[in-house]
Amino acid sequence: MSPRRAAPVKQTTGGLPSWLIVAVVAIVVIVVVIVGADFVGKMTASPTPAPSGLGSRTRGSPNARIEFVEYSDFK
């Protein structure tokens, strides 16, 4: 090797510090858990019955049969 070797260049590691990445991930996880718990709470809550009477917006028998019709397009 040559006696005139260049001094090694110190490589800088760019980017964010690891503690900041961990903090951001922790905050995202906490937000997802809170929003998910709120969503599950709303899904498991019993629905409130529709008001009945003269001022209600429903018509017909409350015991009427319900029929679902599914349409699909196979292209």
pLDDT digit string (tens) for 8-21?
777 666 777 888 99
- Residues in CB range of 50: below 8 A, 6 or more apart: 56, 58
The pLDDT value given to residue 26: 96
Cα 31 to Cα 20, 38, 57: the distances in Å are 17, 11, 38
The pLDDT value given to residue 31: 93
pTM score, whole prediction? 0.40
Q: Where are the beta strands (DSSP E) in the chain?
A: none
Average of per-residue pLDDT across 19-31: 93
Length of the chain in residues, anyone? 75
The pLDDT value given to residue 17: 85
**Using CA atoms in the order 16, 18, 23, 28, what is the torsion angle rounded to 10 degrees?**
70
Question: Is it the case that residue 50 has pLDDT exceeding 60?
Answer: no
